């Protein structure tokens, strides 16, 4: 997988993960282009779009589009399931995840993705193992506070 | 404050910075604190530190050593969580520097016996990432065999990660990883035969370990079918099991179940196609895909079409694929999703052979009328290729291409219509039919310009074949074509003019009519030089040359040499991996065709000239002079000499680099040449627009900037000419030596360089350019001396305009001469005290000009010093209290006044900015100097 983008139905980017080095300018260009392409797709169409030399695999969950860029020889259907597994993991962690969870806990969304994918390849497919890794690492976070809470504290 | 922050606050602030950065603002402090967090023992602090580092720190940062150290510590810590964080950071950054620092350590962690499973997984994928960025830094070694054995690991997560790594490594080093084949087969076999509950949470919606299965199947696609019969048998069994499972009723209604199951199935089919050795499996795969073609899931239909397309190229399954033709055609008509339709087009193209070509081409043409704009060009190319490849009857081919132009003229690229002309010219059995068909097609009140091009060309060559029919008499043909003339673009009009002159030869009876047209003001005085030149020359040719000469010059085109279709090449490029159609490519394409077009000329000459050497290639003209000598001084002959003499020199061989460009020029400027060759690349006239005779001044300021701090160098260079400069200045006087180098092997004639001062500059600068010889031999260099006197301060730069004739074409180049105000500087040394005294004296707002700007080059103090000295002022050491700053002083000398000048340059390396301050007694001078110098850093 070359990259994964999450954006809302309004086209707002919520999360981006790039697995190859691309300049920021190029990233912005790609994002803009893909948001446009994906949002313009009609319902009931396939989840796959040819784009440049890549294949775009996307799926909508509630108000969020998950959009992955994969190589020609990568497996499209399984990419859909990668997305699904990621959603399941988010769901398990946040409990009925919604767009706001990802906005306000962006760093956790990234950490969970990191536990699951690395360098664009699946690291761990077992939901239990990933969830355990996340739980373990968050032990001391859970006893202290959430990101959201301490972002809201006054600085002095 | 002074108080050191505790870990918690540090984390908090770093996190806030990160948040601010993610909102899109620049962060330029806090890096150090983030690095400190890396060495914390608290997980969350370390985690935020790593997140900050991987998002914000770029590789050339000075902190990189500290960061690498922290990572090293964590890797050595034996704490799996910390090791995991460190590995993630390396993979997330994934830069070459990271690879340099850690590529050697990670394999050790990966194969060490006591490494935790989760760390092994991270290590495998981290190594994979580094290998992708810098394969040269990941050395193969004894660890490779141990990595292969990870395929046998108990932990399925480890196996999954290891398989990804091995697949990528095996693609580049197949021999090193050969042993992985049998291990992968046995692992795969254990998975596919396991019950759905055996693998616990590696079972995904009742499908056992789909990710691992797919990865193993991908790994096997790096190798040919296994040679060992036992392994091979086992693999075949696996693949059969997977195909069998597809027929079983689903264990769940969830889409995840079917997706995961079919993902494995499609990957298995890919492997079967890759091996291409088991006819039985191939046909089963094809049948399975056939079922999917009518599945209600759009995704499955899409993938089935895609997969079947590769299946079509296998000899074992080609026939099986063909049985689905009706379904695919139906998909083309009824699918609502353009990406699915696109796949259907691909598949139709893939399954096309002689038996079904007519049907498929007809369907594709049908579809073209409603096709999405984004895929039209590709369909056009495909139709053109199929029509040519499987044409039994060339009349069908001609009809098809004309239909293409009618339906989707805008998407018919040059390659396509060049090709139809090449084929018609090469096959005399179709010429009469082609002439008749284009004539009929042109009757339509509105027809596409491409049709006019093809029609014009073909009638010009073969109009005589249908002239016997009173309904298509010469005059009617001519009037028909000419009725389109005014609606066409310049290249097409140029082509039509060539057709007209060909008509003069084919049909002497309408010569008068054609001459009238050529003689009309709209032709002879056309504002487009190309058209004008063609009209003038064709008119003269038609009125002066004898019928013999006309017949020879305007002879029918000889056959084109057979070669790979340029359309096919274009399609390949279009489909090739990683091709975003880029300009460079399209340009090259044009060259190819320009070349292709000129080739047949050799053939023309072959009949007339005894030595068809490659250099003779443009010789359409070489013929003329010799013929001329055979018919001495008839007035017609002498004109021909005139017309040709311009051209003749260009026949000499050229340096390869200049050649392409040259040919473009030639074809653009010498219509006569083309009328002899009448190659299908006539519209190359468009080249002319790239370099119109009134050349704008070559992107002047950039050229000048190069010379602000130096006096010698290359001022300008193109395919033909190089201009070098050497100059010296003393007080208000200067002398410039301009060197003109002829890069070609052909003479430049009427070579006339002129220095022009724009209005106003004339009174400020006195410039006197010595005359030069009007001829520059091929490969020779000529020097021109230019004397300069600066009368008063000035801003504009003089322009050097060069005109010459090269191969009959008038070239016109304009470049700004880098004579700038700072050239008349005399450096002035002074002490700190004097400097500041003068600095204060020049403190009124008009005298000071300041500019703050971003550094465009690396901020190297030595380079900066050299530039300031090159600018002409004295660099004063020890004047500015801040040693980072640069201070300079000098006097501008002009004939009328002298202007003292002080400057100060303050670099800010952190922000990569400069502040430049100039103080002189004259506002104009301050401004000009400040602008000139600002461009340099």
DSSP assignment of B377-436 equals: HHHHHHHHHHHHHT-SSHHHHHHHHHHHHHHHGGG--HHHHHHHHHHHHH-TTTHHHHHH
pLDDT band at residue A138 using 50, 70 and 90 as cut-offs: low
pLDDT band at residue B563 using 50, 70 and 90 as cut-offs: low
The number of folded domains in chain B is 2
**Token couple for B596:** 């292709």
Question: Does the domain spanning A3-152 belong to CATH 3.30.450.60?
Answer: yes
List the domain boundaries for chain A. Answer: 3-152
Contacts of B263 in chain A (CB under 8 A): 75-78, 81
- The yes-or-no verdict on residue B493 having pLDDT over 90 is yes
Domain stops at, among B819, B841, B872 = B819
The partner residue sitting opposite B211, judged by closest CB among A19, A78, A144, is: A78
Contacts of A127 in chain B (CB under 8 A): 201
Q: What is the pLDDT of residue B180?
A: 92
Greater confidence (B115 vs B626) lies with: B115
Mind listing the pLDDT tens digit for each residue in B97-147?
888 889 888 998 998 888 888 899 999 999 999 998 888 888 888 888 889
One domain, residues B811 and B832: no
- The yes-or-no verdict on residue B579 having pLDDT over 50 is no
pLDDT band at residue B235 using 50, 70 and 90 as cut-offs: very high
Strands (E), A19-81: 48-51, 54-61, 64-70
**Interface check B79 vs A, CB under 8 A:** no
Whether B734 is covered by a domain: the verdict is yes
Judged by CB atoms closer than 8 Å, whether chains meet at B579 and A141 is answered as no
**Interface check B788 vs A, CB under 8 A:** no
Instruction: Enter the DSSP assignment of B276.
Output: -
Contacts of A107 in chain B (CB under 8 A): 15, 18, 48, 51
pLDDT band at residue A156 using 50, 70 and 90 as cut-offs: very low
One domain, residues B717 and B732: yes
**Token couple for B576:** 């090739």
Domain stops at, among B819, B843, B860 = B819
Mind listing the pLDDT tens digit for each residue in B413-423?
888 888 889 88
CA B388/CA A49 separation, integer angstroms = 30
CA B447/CA B412 separation, integer angstroms = 13
Residue B12 annotated as part of some ligand binding site: yes
The four Cα atoms A3, A7, A13, A16 give a dihedral, to 10 degrees, of: -20
Tell me the count of A-B CB pairs closer than 8 A. Answer: 163
Smallest CA–CA distance, residue B162 to chain A, in Å, is 9
By C-alpha distance, which of B513, B509, B429, B501 is closest to B465? B429
- The yes-or-no verdict on residue A96 having pLDDT over 60 is yes
pLDDT band at residue B697 using 50, 70 and 90 as cut-offs: low
CA B903/CA B839 separation, integer angstroms = 9
One domain, residues B837 and B815: no
One domain, residues B745 and B829: no
CATH of the domain at B889: 3.30.310.10
Greater confidence (B631 vs B554) lies with: B554
**Interface check B156 vs A, CB under 8 A:** yes
Averaged pLDDT for residues A50-65: 91
The boundaries of the domain holding residue B881 are: 822-935
Residue B361 annotated as part of some ligand binding site: no
CATH of the domain at B729: 2.60.40.1230
CB A95 within 8 A of CB A84: no
Greater confidence (B927 vs B650) lies with: B927
CA B917/CA B848 separation, integer angstroms = 7
Averaged pLDDT for residues B404-420: 87
Domain stops at, among B819, B838, B857 = B819
Whether B417 is covered by a domain: the verdict is no
The set of long-range contacts for B323-332, using a CB threshold of 8 Å and a minimum separation of 24, is B323/B290, B324/B290, B324/B293, B324/B351, B325/B351, B325/B356, B325/B359, B325/B360, B327/B290, B327/B293, B327/B294, B328/B293, B329/B363, B331/B293, B331/B301, B331/B305, B332/B363, B332/B364, B332/B367
One domain, residues B703 and B726: yes
Judged by CB atoms closer than 8 Å, whether chains meet at B218 and A73 is answered as yes
- The yes-or-no verdict on residue B537 having pLDDT over 70 is yes
The partner residue sitting opposite B88, judged by closest CB among A21, A106, A118, is: A118
Judged by CB atoms closer than 8 Å, whether chains meet at B303 and A114 is answered as no
Averaged pLDDT for residues B813-829: 87
- The yes-or-no verdict on residue B411 having pLDDT over 70 is yes
Q: What is the pLDDT of residue A95?
A: 85
Q: Which of B29-38, B111-120, B840-849, B918-927 comes out lowest in average pLDDT?
A: B840-849
Q: What is the pLDDT of residue B683?
A: 37
Taking all residues of chain B, what is their mean pLDDT, rounded to a whole number? 80
One domain, residues B793 and B866: no
CB B934 within 8 A of CB B907: no
Greater confidence (B440 vs B640) lies with: B440
pLDDT band at residue B701 using 50, 70 and 90 as cut-offs: low
Whether B784 is covered by a domain: the verdict is yes
**Interface check B514 vs A, CB under 8 A:** no
Averaged pLDDT for residues B179-199: 87
Whether B842 is covered by a domain: the verdict is yes
Quote helix, strand, coil % in chain A, to nearest 5.
50, 20, 30
Smallest CA–CA distance, residue A97 to chain B, in Å, is 19
Residue B13 annotated as part of some ligand binding site: yes
Mind listing the pLDDT tens digit for each residue in B329-354?
998 888 888 889 989 999 999 999 98
Q: What is the pLDDT of residue A136?
A: 66
The secondary structure element, H or E, covering residue B541 is: helix B529-544
pLDDT band at residue B167 using 50, 70 and 90 as cut-offs: very high
Contacts of B129 in chain A (CB under 8 A): 19, 118-120
Between helix B566-575 and helix B373-389 the angle, nearest 10°, is: 140
**Interface check B252 vs A, CB under 8 A:** no
Which residue matches tokens 């465009």? B856
One domain, residues B876 and B901: yes
**Token couple for A130:** 């990933």
Our separate counts of H helices and E strands in chain A read 6, 7
One domain, residues B854 and B751: no
Contacts of B255 (CB under 8 A, 6+ apart): B297
Smallest CA–CA distance, residue B88 to chain A, in Å, is 7
Q: What is the pLDDT of residue A48?
A: 92
pTM over 0.80: no
């Amino acid at each position: 997988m070359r990259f994964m983008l999450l954006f809302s139905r309004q086209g707002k980017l919520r999360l981006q993960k790039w697995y190859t080095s691309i300049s920021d300018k190029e990233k912005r260009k790609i994002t803009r282009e893909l948001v446009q392409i994906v949002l313009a797709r009609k319902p009931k169409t396939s989840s796959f779009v040819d784009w440049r030399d890549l294949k775009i695999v996307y799926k909508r969950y509630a108000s969020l589009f998950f959009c992955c860029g994969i190589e020609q020889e990568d497996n499209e259907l399984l990419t859909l399931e990668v997305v699904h597994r990621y959603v399941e993991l988010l769901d398990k962690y946040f409990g009925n995840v919604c767009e706001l969870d990802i906005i306000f806990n962006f760093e956790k969304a990234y950490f969970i993705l990191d536990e699951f994918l690395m360098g664009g390849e699946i690291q761990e497919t077992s939901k239990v193992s990933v969830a355990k890794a996340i739980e373990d690492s968050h032990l001391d976070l859970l006893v202290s506070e959430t990101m959201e809470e301490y972002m809201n504290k006054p600085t002095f | 404050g002074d108080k050191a922050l505790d870990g918690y606050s540090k984390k908090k602030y770093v996190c806030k910075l990160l948040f601010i950065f993610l909102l899109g603002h620049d962060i330029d402090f806090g890096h150090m604190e983030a690095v400190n967090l890396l060495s914390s023992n608290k997980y969350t602090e370390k985690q935020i530190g790593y997140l900050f580092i991987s998002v914000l720190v770029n590789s050339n940062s000075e902190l990189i050593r500290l960061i690498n150290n922290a990572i090293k510590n964590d890797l050595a810590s034996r704490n799996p969580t910390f090791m995991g964080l460190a590995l993630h950071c390396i993979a997330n950054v994934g830069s070459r520097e990271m690879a340099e620092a850690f590529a050697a350590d990670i394999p050790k962690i990966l194969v060490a016996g006591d490494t935790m499973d989760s760390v092994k997984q991270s290590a495998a994928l981290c190594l994979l990432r580094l290998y992708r960025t810098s394969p040269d830094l990941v050395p193969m070694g004894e660890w490779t065999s141990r990595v292969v054995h990870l395929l046998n690991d108990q932990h399925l997560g480890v196996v999954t990660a290891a398989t990804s790594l091995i697949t990528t490594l095996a693609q580049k080093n197949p021999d090193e990883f050969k042993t992985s084949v049998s291990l992968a087969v046995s692992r795969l076999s254990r998975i596919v035969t396991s019950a759905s509950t055996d693998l616990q949470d590696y079972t995904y919606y009742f499908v056992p370990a789909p990710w691992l299965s797919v990865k193993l199947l991908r790994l096997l696609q790096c190798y040919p079918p296994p040679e060992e019969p036992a392994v091979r048998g086992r693999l075949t069994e696996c693949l059969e099991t997977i195909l069998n499972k597809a027929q079983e009723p689903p264990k769940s209604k969830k889409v995840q179940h079917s997706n995961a199951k079919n993902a494995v199935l499609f990957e298995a089919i890919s492997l079967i196609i890759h091996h291409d050795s088991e006819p039985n499996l191939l046909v089963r795969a094809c049948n399975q895909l056939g079922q999917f073609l009518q599945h209600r899931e759009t995704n499955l239909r899409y993938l089935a079409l895609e997969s079947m397309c590769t299946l079509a190229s296998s000899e074992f399954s080609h026939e099986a694929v063909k049985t689905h033709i009706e379904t695919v055609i139906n998909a083309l008509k009824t699918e609502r999703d353009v990406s699915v339709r696109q796949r259907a087009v691909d598949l139709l193209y893939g399954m096309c052979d002689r038996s079904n070509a007519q049907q498929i081409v007809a369907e594709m043409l049908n579809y073209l009328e409603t096709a999405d704009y984004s895929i039209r060009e590709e369909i056009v190319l495909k139709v053109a290729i199929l029509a040519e490849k499987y044409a039994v009857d060339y009349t069908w081919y001609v009809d098809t291409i004309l239909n293409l132009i009618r339906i989707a003229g805008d998407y018919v690229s040059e390659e396509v219509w060049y090709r139809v002309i090449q084929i018609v010219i090469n096959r005399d059995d179709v010429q009469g039919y082609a002439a008749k068909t284009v004539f009929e097609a042109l009757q339509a009140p509105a027809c596409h310009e491409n049709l006019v091009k093809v029609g014009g060309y073909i009638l010009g060559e073969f109009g005589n074949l249908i002239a016997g029919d009173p309904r298509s008499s010469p005059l009617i043909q001519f009037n028909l074509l000419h009725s389109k003339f005014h609606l066409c673009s310049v290249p097409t009009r140029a082509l039509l003019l060539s057709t007209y002159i060909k008509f003069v030869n084919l049909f002497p009876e309408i010569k008068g009519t054609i001459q009238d047209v050529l003689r009309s003001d709209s032709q002879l005085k056309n504002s487009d030089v190309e058209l004008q030149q063609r009209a003038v020359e064709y008119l003269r040719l038609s009125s002066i040359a004898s019928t013999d000469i006309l017949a020879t010059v305007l002879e029918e085109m000889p056959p084109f040499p057979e070669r790979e279709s340029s359309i096919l090449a274009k399609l390949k490029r279009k489909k090739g991996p990683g091709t975003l159609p880029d300009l460079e490519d399209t340009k090259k394409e044009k060259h190819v065709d320009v070349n292709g077009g000129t080739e047949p000329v050799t053939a023309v000459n072959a009949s007339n000239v005894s030595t068809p050497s490659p250099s003779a290639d443009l010789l359409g003209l070489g013929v003329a002079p010799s013929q001329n000598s055979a018919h001495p001084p008839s007035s017609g002959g002498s004109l021909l000499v005139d017309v040709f003499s311009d051209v003749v020199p260009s026949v000499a061989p050229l340096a390869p680099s200049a050649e392409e460009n040259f040919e473009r020029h030639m074809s653009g400027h010498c219509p006569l040449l083309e009328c002899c060759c009448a190659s299908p690349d006539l519209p190359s006239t468009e080249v002319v627009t790239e370099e119109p005779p009134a050349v704008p001044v070559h992107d002047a300021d950039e050229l000048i900037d190069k010379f602000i701090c130096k006096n010698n160098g290359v001022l300008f260079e193109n395919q033909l000419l190089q201009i070098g400069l050497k100059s010296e200045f003393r007080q208000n006087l200067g002398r410039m030596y301009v060197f003109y180098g002829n890069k070609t092997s052909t003479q430049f004639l009427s070579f006339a360089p002129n220095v022009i001062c724009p209005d106003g500059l004339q009174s400020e600068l006195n410039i006197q350019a010595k005359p030069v010889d009007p001829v520059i031999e091929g490969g020779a260099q000529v020097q021109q001396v230019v004397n300069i006197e600066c009368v008063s301060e000035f801003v504009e730069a003089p322009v050097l305009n060069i005109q010459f004739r090269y191969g009959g074409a008038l070239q016109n180049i304009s470049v700004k001469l880098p004579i700038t105000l700072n050239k008349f500087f005399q450096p002035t040394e002074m002490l700190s005290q004097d400097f500041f005294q003068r600095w204060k004296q020049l403190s009124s707002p008009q005298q000071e000009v300041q500019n703050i700007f971003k550094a465009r080059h690396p901020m190297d103090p030595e380079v900066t010093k050299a530039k300031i000295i090159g600018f002409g002022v004295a660099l004063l050491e020890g004047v500015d209290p801040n040693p980072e700053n640069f201070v300079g002083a000098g006097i501008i000398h002009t004939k009328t006044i002298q202007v003292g000048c002080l400057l100060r340059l303050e670099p800010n390396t952190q922000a990569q900015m400069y502040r430049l301050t100039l103080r002189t007694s004259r506002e104009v001078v301050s401004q000009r100097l400040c602008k000139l110098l600002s461009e340099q850093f």
